[in-house]
Copies of this chain bind each other. A is one copy, B any other.
């Protein structure tokens, strides 16, 4: 009986310690939802469809909307491991292939990130009124960027990730309507007409990096 009591006290102390100090949680490797990309020069894009595969280092973003009077459309598959991205143009069944440079930046908390704050977005005064999140900060020497990353306490779902890149500006990635998993795994495979004669390779200009490849240009 006494042993059980001691065990309970030890356990509750341990659990207390864990609950006090948020751990470097592991984000899901597959995500889909909506993504807002905001760049410091006042450029921002909302992708209604965003697909993310951390294991194969692939992203797909789809944008369909209006910019003032103009219809805008973008369907881009980014294959970071193959260092290319495709823009798919449906109306004439063609594709544009571009070079991708630099490493894939996973949506994850780097091991060296420092925990800055745990806060509730909204309120815990009633059910479904608040969301417990953790904010992590640090410096990425490879990207030469200070980062501020906010993930949910439960599920480790990204909320908003900010990168301040030396000499470039800030990139803000905001995530909405996130679903864990990928409904259709073929979403990262360029359509068949991309490998046919209609493929245009753009070799002029600088290769895009992780961030600016996500900006509609």
Question: Nearest B residue to A131 by beta-carbon distance?
Answer: B131
Number of copies: 2
A87 within 8 A of B: no
**A contacts, CB < 8 Å to B:** 33-34, 119-133, 152-155, 157, 159, 175-181
In the bound assembly, the distance between CA atoms of A66 and B21 in angstroms comes to 23
| Main secondary structure on A side of the interface with B | strand
Q: Is the Cβ of B127 less than 8 Å from the Cβ of A154?
A: yes
17 A-B residue pairs with Cβ-Cβ distance under 8 Å, sorted by A, are: A33-B123, A120-B176, A120-B178, A121-B121, A122-B178, A123-B157, A123-B178, A123-B180, A124-B179, A125-B157, A125-B178, A128-B132, A129-B131, A129-B152, A129-B155, A129-B157, A130-B152
Q: A125 — which chain B residues lie within 8 A by C-beta?
A: 155, 157, 178-181
A12 to B: closest C-beta gap in Å: 21
Supplied contacts A126-B154, A128-B132, 9 more A-B pairs, CB within 8 Å:
A33-B123, A121-B131, A122-B175, A123-B180, A124-B179, A128-B155, A129-B152, A129-B154, A130-B152
